[in-house]
Amino acid sequence: MGEIRKAGVIGAGVMGSGIAAHLANAGLHVVLLDVEAATAASAVAKQVKSGGFMDAAFAERVVTGSVSDDMLLLSDADLIIEAVAERLDVKQGLYARIESVRKPGSIVSSNTSTIPLSALVDGLPEGFAADFLVTHFFNPPRTMPLLELVAGPRTRREALETIRDFGDRDLGKSVVVCRDTPGFIANRIGNYWMAAAVNEAIALGLDVEVADAAISKPFGIPKTGIFGLMDLVGIDLMSMVLRSLHGALPPSDPMQDYPVEPALLARMIGEKRLGRKSGAGFVRLSADRKSREVTDLVTGEYRPQKKVDSDALDATKGDARALMEHDGAAGRYAAAVMEKALAYAARITPEIADGPDAVDTAMRGGYGWAKGPFELIDQLGAGWLVARLEKRGVPVPDFLAKAAAAGGFYAIENGARSCLLPDGTRRKVAQADGVITLAAVQLASKAVEDWGAARLWDLGDGIACFEIRSKMNTFGAPVLDALEATLARVQQGFKGLVIGSDAPLFSAGADIRVFLETVETSGPAAFGASIDRGHRLFKAVKYAPFPVVGAAAGLAFGGGCELLLHCRAIQAHAELTIGLVEPRIGVVPGWGGCKEMLLRFAEGHASAKGPVAPALAAFGVIAPGKVSTSAFEARRLGFLRPTDGITMNRARLLADAKAKALALAEGYVPPAPPSLTLSGPSGASALRNVLETEATAGRLTAHDRVVGEALVTVLTGGPDADPVRPVGEDAVTALERAAFIALLGEPATLERIRHMLATGKPLRN
């Protein structure tokens, strides 16, 4: 396969500039061109502001220019992506210009979502067609997992495989190869679902709030529901896509059952009520901007937003099948929409995809569904759905009938998942090379140990995996018990340990409800035993006779961050959100976080030498509770070392962490205990200057000052610290312990903890 090192993007709209930003995230040199160079430059600036780059510095990897003057910048590009207006004549005219400057063998692709590949390459040179395919990203390109690929009969196999691998490993995408059919996979099914959801809600005269609630959580669909999604996508764009699909699909396709623009949508488009981009759609802020208003689906006028009022939703409590069977308005609505959408997916899959697994992957990655259509059908029961369709007089697709006879679309065979194909045969659901999931491990084997709150798995090759299973993966006594048992068990037959899971987050840290209960029943000092245990266990992780690698994904806050800081190495997903957020609830990091950040900055993250600089750097990260927005930012903040790895594709994280553990295991020697030089009074003075500056600027509350002062003592050693006499780690953890317990005795800290438990948000007091 070829290697992609430099890429060009033509078209600096929201999608084109977002694609360029994500290519830069992957480490590529990128050229972004538009009609005017200034347009491209402005688009890069907007991507920096909107978070399209994983680190703002990555914008420097993007060179901008104009199509008229700078096409030669693409002459050495390995990949050129066209992201211009959805007009065939415009695209083909641009392809001729690309062909005149590109190097032989470079790959050219279109981000089209509405024009068939066959039309795009019609009449173009054979060599161009051989290097051409569709790369359909979803918006925003950085965060939406799906990448749909379409290759034509003339596309080189190597070109397809190169982009498939590049999209997977470098861009971190769930790559689905689609057939060259209208809307490909996700938008074909997704737009039918949206059309059904909008039109059925209007027909029933439902409240927007009820429709969104009925069509979201019970089915594992994002809480935006349908009308929130319409506002997010843009009501005019939805109309444009539907119009394109109507024109491309035969009259017999059920998509044609719904109008391109129902009267209400036509009115909203005419009134420029287009969704979030125009400031008003199905939802808008009130005139005083203090509350929300929603569109009444009967009158088309705005009214105050209200709480969801539905007997069906109240009675069925999130059970999708029970909701669809309920005779209330929300139940009838959910049944009408989901029965039709699931039947449509079963009807068209033989035409658009190689199997149900591709469709499910596309809908999970492109629309954020927790389960794809066929996984939902299996959850509801294929036979049950067939009976429902027959009762409604809706034709039952052959593929669905076969699934009902076979007991579902998916099955477990010989420790692996298989899926039913349209011809009635089954095949194993393939897992890409280099991917490890605990779900797959669980199908093929039993846990080495199962403590309920955590499990230990054998990943093969002598590497074990510790999986936390508590709510939000928080640390309570059962998880700490399991971690302690794991450290002993791994020494019996394993040579390395990975801490991680398939869960969307690593750990939210210690269970703060325990903080509150302990203080309220026994006083702050009673929490000392928990602090001591955490210090002891995390220290055991750090000095274990085998390498421990943290597979960090999602969020890692507080104690979760501290556990990672004690691992021998971290393999982080690129979208890692990590931070020592304890000050937000009125305490300091209590399980070695302060000590580990001091050590990291002393190792070279601080720009200046001496004990004050590491303390200042650590204070600048911990005191405000800074949190990374990516693994790259986490590295800049000091949470990751330069030697820690970053994985772009979440599905590959455990495998990459295992590989790192194996590499470290050969001849492994635990690290030697370090010494720390604490800066004492001179360092404390420097840190207090920072506090004073922040307070003067109005950025600190009264309790922020209290927490800040406690942190100053921990990071500098207090008034008795001697900068010329290094101390061991335990000296700093003792300071952490004292500060933590003292702060737990502060009424303002308890107010913060109670507020966080009640609202999920920090209290500024």
The enclosing domain of 250 has a CATH number of 1.10.1040.50
Token pair listed for 61:
């990897």
pLDDT of residue 606: 46
Return the CATH number at 23: 3.40.50.720
Is there a domain that residue 721 lies in?
A: no
pTM of the predicted model, to two decimals? 0.94
Average pLDDT, the chain: 95
Span 697-725, average pLDDT: 94
Residue 337 and residue 193: Cα distance in Å, rounded? Answer: 7
Last residue within a domain, chosen from 135, 150, 178: 178
The region of weakest confidence among 37-51, 126-140, 418-432, 606-620 is: 606-620
Q: Is 758 within a domain? A: no
Same domain, yes or no: 606 and 458: yes
| Mean pLDDT of the region 691-697 | 94
What is the spatial distance between Cα 225 and Cα 172, in angstroms, rounded to a whole number? 26
> Taking 90 as the threshold, does the pLDDT of residue 229 lie above it?
yes
Q: 531 is in which domain, residue-wise?
A: 440-671
Q: Are residues 149 and 105 in the same domain?
A: yes
* Residue 575 within a domain: yes
Which amino acid belongs to residue 462?
G
DSSP secondary structure string, 203-223? HHT--HHHHHHHTSGGGT--T
Residue 685 lies in a domain: no
Residues 130 and 162 in one domain: yes
- In total, how many domains does the chain have? 3
Model confidence pLDDT, tens digit, residues 74-100: 999 999 999 999 999 999 999 999 999
DSSP symbol at 674? P
Residue 764 lies in a domain: no
Residues 392 and 503 in one domain: no
pLDDT of residue 608: 58
Share of the chain above pLDDT 70, in %: 99
Q: Tell me if 256 is assigned to some domain.
A: yes
pLDDT at 432: 85
Provide the CATH number for the domain around residue 543: 3.90.226.10
Whether residue 73 has pLDDT greater than 80: yes
Q: What is the mean pLDDT of residues 635-663?
A: 98
In this structure, the answer to whether residues 36 and 87 fall within a common structural domain is: yes
Tokens for 378, please give them.
């299996």
Under 8 Å between Cβ of 501 and 552:
no
Please report the pLDDT score of residue 604 as a whole number: 72
Find the mean pLDDT for residues 216-233. 94
Stretch 338-354: mean pLDDT: 97
pLDDT tops 70 at residue 129 = yes
**Cβ neighbours of residue 427 under 8 Å, at least 6 residues apart?**
355, 418, 419, 421
Q: With 60 as the cut, is the pLDDT of residue 607 above it?
A: no
Rg, Å, the chain Cα set: 28
pLDDT-derived band at 2, boundaries 50, 70, 90: confident
pLDDT score, position 204:
95
Could you give the angle at the alpha carbon of 51 between the alpha carbons of 48 and 56, nearest 5°? 45
Task: Kindly report which listed range (212-216, 329-333, 411-415) carries the lowest average pLDDT score.
Answer: 411-415
Within a domain: 403: yes
280-297: pLDDT as tens digits:
999 999 888 888 999 999
447 and 581 co-located in one domain: yes
Same domain, 43 and 26: yes
**pLDDT-wise least confident of 7-11, 249-253, 511-515:** 511-515
Amino acid occupying residue 426: R
pLDDT for the residue numbered 1: 67
Specify whether 167 is located in the same domain as 190.
Answer: no
Q: What is the pLDDT of residue 720?
A: 87
**What is the token pair recorded at 373?**
């259509």
Of 178, 196, 223, which closes a domain?
A: 178
Q: Is residue 745 part of a domain?
A: no
